[in-house]
Amino acid sequence: MTAPNMANPDDFYEALIDMHRDLDEAQSQAVNARLILLLANHIGDMQVLREAMTHARTET
């Protein structure tokens, strides 16, 4: 799903930025990795995850 699906995307963005506050680069990358794994576990559907990975990679 790539269509907007959040009631308050700005609130999410602010929380994401706050999550990284006061972290160095290595800590920031580690927290991103942990967040990705937590969200992937929450989604739980490998097909959905593969589609998301493909989409994320092609959007760079």
- The Cα–Cα gap between 29 and 60 comes to 18
Domain span at 55: 35-60
Are 2 and 14 in contact by the 8 Å Cβ rule? The answer is no
How many domains does the chain divide into? 1
Q: Is residue 15, in this structure, part of any structural domain at all?
A: no
Query: Which tokens hold the place of 15?
Result: 């929380």
Q: What is the pLDDT of residue 60?
A: 58
Q: What is the pLDDT of residue 1?
A: 78
Q: Is residue 60, in this structure, part of any structural domain at all?
A: yes
pLDDT in tens for each of the 60 residues of the chain? 788 889 999 999 999 999 999 999 999 999 999 999 999 999 999 999 999 999 999 965
Q: What is the pLDDT of residue 3?
A: 86
Q: Is residue 8, in this structure, part of any structural domain at all?
A: no
pTM, to two decimals: 0.82
